[in-house]
Structure 1
Amino acid sequence: MTSGMRITWVLGRHGWADCTLEDHHAKAELTASYITSAPEEFLTAVARLVAGETENRVQFEAEPTAYRWIFYGEGDDVWIRVLELRDGSDHDNSGTEIWSKQLDVNQLARAVIRCFDEVARTHGESGYRGKWGEHFPRTELEALRRLWNDRRHPTVHRRIAPDLRRRPMRQIREMSEREYFACVGRRPGMFVGTASSFHQLTAFLTGYDQHAMRHGGQGLTGWHEWLVARRGRSCNHAWPGQVLHIALPEGWTDIADLPPEDEKHAIKVLFQLLDEFAAEREARPGAQNSD
């Protein structure tokens, strides 16, 4: 599979389809119902990624189960997560991840276009409507095809100089700890869901720290002490409280229910501090990154 990913869309009984994702390493099977415009929304989401959007999501309803696609793009790369949820209204954190992959956005577009081209060849547009219950998503498919062709073959006036293109996104396993923290800070929804909160992010980072400790990595060793020194005083709060003391010096009421503006500022300060901490640690002689 030259694209690194293959997607199939198989029409079953009236108003239902089975969608399969597979590559050389894994396979996932999803179900979609025509109660939502799943094909149109899926094609549109991929088209927006091709056009340069950095975040998008689509949901296939399987009544009551749902399958949620989460896309994060950076430069030419896209991260894809697919979650299975017991109910379509559930939060991301309640879902089970059944697929996760990073690939080039052109590979994703190619796989999706091939998928729906095959559906059209197999059923014809009238046959598709008879089995699915709605018109074939021709408009959305051709919009994606045009955007993909424009991206692959830009005109002279739109061509981007190679030295001005964004660097490809690195695989997580290749990142330094500082790069990883920055990655979480740029796209927290990839790690803790769309309703990212300061409390959720600190819980995620605590879990990261515990995993690192269990497997011989540095994790957040020295982080609490660094924050105390940065703040210039100590108290009995754990490290999330130390961050809030720095971000919100006038205090707060409930760490799990911060006002929206305070929440936004606290998250920004959290990752600024983490970057400073990681940079200082990297600069020490003999510094090593956690696995």
Structure 2
Amino acid sequence: MDYALMFDVLEGGVSQPIKWDKNSLTNDRNIIILDEGSSSLYLWHGSAQGLVARRTALRQAESLKGHGFTVGKSIVGRDIKMLKEIDQRKIGRDPETDRYNEELEEVLNREYKELDNFIISYASKDLEMTPVKTVPKPEQKTEPRAEVKPETKPLVEKIEKPTPITPPEPSQASKSDIPVATEYSIPSKKIEVEKPRVVVKPESKTEAKPVSVPKSSEPMVKPLDLSIQAKIGFVIMGILDHYDDIWISKKEDGAYAVEHMDGRVCEFTISEGKIKFTANSFAGIATNVKTEIQKKFVELSKLI
């Protein structure tokens, strides 16, 4: 039997199970639908949700996809490996989003049965049970049995009198036959106890050896120069003139990436104390916006 669960991703990165209801998919919520029937985990992003809330919901969905949700001694959705994001703003504009949205509607429109802890199972037709005919057992004829009369015994039986037993007379022992112990009967002996000798061993002097602490092999990360930090801030300020909600991340190779709700804004690296943009740094935004961001960066850089 396949099960399903619905979660509401709250602020702070907490995913809370809620009642199964397709009306919960509103523009101000991030909803996770864990469905064993389609072996998929759907993540609904409401159109009014910001970038930070979307990233938080994505992390929660990734965690559920890898481990499932534990209810008592059972795990719901343990084998789910596919995550499908549905952005409400892209419905009708993106073919992949439309396909995922249609699949989710089919899941939500199925007949289901509510179980404990907000878990639902898909309804199935009950099997009709045919009545079982009972066959009466044939009556067994009992033959009359002959009555057995109990033997009558006399109420009083003869009791033979036991022969009396005469105990033997005890023999008195004379006082002279009992030996009397005196203090002079056993000669006393002196017992000498040898005292143990205490042997004192000389203390052995041990020289303390110096303990060598291995040095950490991890390379020391030098902090960025203040001028470089200021230039990074200039780039961010130029981007904030056009986008109110952005996400900044640092990659493993040291490059910085800036994203907004619809995709990537730019990407740049730091080399020899300078910020360097590549040809594809601003590939995800309009050319005029790119020019204005670079212009703002140049103007602010003249201040240092």
Query: What range is the shorter-chain TM-score in?
Result: under 0.3
Higher relative contact order structure (alpha carbons within 8 Å, sequence separation ≥ 6):
1
TM-score, normalized by length of structure 1? 0.25
- Whose helix fraction is larger, Structure 1's or Structure 2's? 1
TM-score, normalized by length of structure 2? 0.24
- Pick the structure with greater CA Rg: 2
